[in-house]
């Protein structure tokens, strides 16, 4: 039997794109997802799928043995900042406790390679919006705090048990597979570019813009948006680094340029040729004014070369995906 790479959360947005990146690279994946937010149809045909939790030690032991798992890409997590503020215990349970169970399963099964899905939220609200990996970590919401705790637990496991970990700190992920094989499928998703595309297509009444009084050029929050396909390929490069004997790394994944909320809305209007209605609301708790990656280390350490480093290309891929989803839903309604 072929040894496989376990992709936890592989039925979710980023995880499903990582599965495609593995397949494109000739690497065999197996997906574990509890489908609390992921969708079964996001897993490509022919890829083994197991429904369950990363907190289920017995399930993990059997899965590692049955599929001869050689490495793990760990995406399974809770990741909505406002929700983390309202439900912190759920975030600590899923993002930290379940990660500990997964790490223990790796140690017991002799799996020594793990790529961890982390976040720029570990930096909190830094004094400078442009941050590198040496910037102080001071998360301002439970989501960021839980991810930082998981990073530190995995680093301790690496030191004690020989587990090699690459932690990738994502900035704002957006877009869809350029070939149309995957996209953001989750109903009610909160990603700005998806929400704006849905508003442009009439699938939502408007975009809520949270905060217009930030110390930024137009008063709205500024973020570094990275195309999901570039991010998925970064995971494959991180996996290759570990397979070639490379040691632990913590790396930012972004492009090094920020765009405000209003700039994103204008990009969606350019791509769609339609206005994007917006409602302006107060700041949300836990949102920093600006956060932009200094991501030179990922390029140097992994040889990672982004292919979609352009806001208009990111938006165009997301809009194309949303249009296809809308057309599919319309056909299903007509056939019902």
How many helices and strands in the chain, by DSSP H and E? 11, 15
- How many CA within 13 A on the CB side of residue 198? 19
Torsions phi, psi of 74, nearest 5? -105, 100
- Round the CA-based radius of gyration of the chain to a whole number and report it: 19
Measured between alpha carbons, how far is residue 189 from residues 62, 175, 186 in Å? 32, 13, 6
Residue 14 contacts residue 40 (beta carbons within 8 Å):
no
| Residue 261 φ then ψ, to 5° | -55, -45
The length of the chain is 336
Question: DSSP code of 109?
Answer: H
Which helix (H) or strand (E) is 164 found in, with range?
A: strand 164-170
Provide the β-strand partners of residue 252.
169
CB 256 within 8 A of CB 295: yes
Residue with tokens 């799928």: 49
Question: Closest Cα partner for 327 from 196, 199, 207, 201?
Answer: 201
Catalytic residue among 91, 123, 143, 255: 143
Which residues neighbour 198 within 8 Å (Cβ) at sequence distance 6 or greater? 204, 322
CA distances from 182 to 16, 90, 172, 257 (A): 7, 28, 18, 25
Cα gap 121→279, rounded to integer Å: 25
Judge whether 143 counts as a catalytic residue.
yes
Q: Catalytic amino acids?
A: 143
């Amino acid at each position: 039997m072929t040894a496989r790479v376990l992709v936890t959360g592989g039925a979710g947005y980023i995880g499903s794109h990582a599965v495609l990146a593995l397949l494109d690279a000739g690497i065999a994946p197996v997906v574990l997802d509890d489908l609390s937010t992921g969708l079964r149809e996001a897993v490509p045909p022919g890829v083994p799928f197991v429904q369950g939790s990363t907190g289920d030690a017995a399930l993990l032991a059997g899965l590692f043995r049955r599929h001869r798992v050689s490495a793990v890409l760990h995406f399974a997590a809770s990741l909505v900042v406002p929700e983390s503020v309202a439900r912190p215990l759920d975030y600590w349970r899923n993002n930290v406790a379940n990660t500990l169970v997964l790490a223990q399963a790796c140690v017991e099964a002799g799996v020594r390679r793990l790529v961890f899905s982390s976040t720029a939220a570990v930096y909190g609200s830094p004094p400078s919006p442009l941050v590198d990996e040496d910037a102080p970590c001071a998360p301002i919401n439970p989501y960021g705090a839980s991810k930082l705790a998981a990073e530190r637990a995995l680093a301790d496991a690496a030191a004690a048990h020989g587990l090699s970990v690459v932690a990738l700190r994502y900035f704002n992920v957006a877009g869809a597979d350029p070939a149309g094989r995957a996209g953001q499928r989750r109903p009610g998703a909160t990603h700005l570019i998806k929400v704006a595309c849905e508003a442009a297509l009439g699938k939502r009444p408007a975009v809520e813009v949270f905060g217009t009084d930030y110390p930024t050029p137009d008063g709205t929050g500024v973020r570094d948006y990275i195309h999901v396909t570039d991010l998925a390929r970064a995971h494959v490069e991180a996996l290759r680094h570990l397979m070639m004997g490379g040691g632990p790394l913590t790396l930012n994944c972004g492009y090094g340029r920020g765009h405000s909320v209003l700039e994103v809305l204008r990009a969606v209007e350019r791509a769609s040729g339609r206005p994007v209605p917006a409602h302006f609301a107060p700041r949300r708790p836990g949102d920093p004014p600006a956060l932009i990656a200094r991501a030179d280390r990922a390029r140097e350490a992994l040889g990672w070369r982004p292919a979609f480093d352009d806001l208009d290309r990111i938006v165009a891929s997301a809009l194309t995906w949303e249009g296809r989803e809308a057309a599919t839903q319309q056909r299903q309604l007509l056939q019902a």
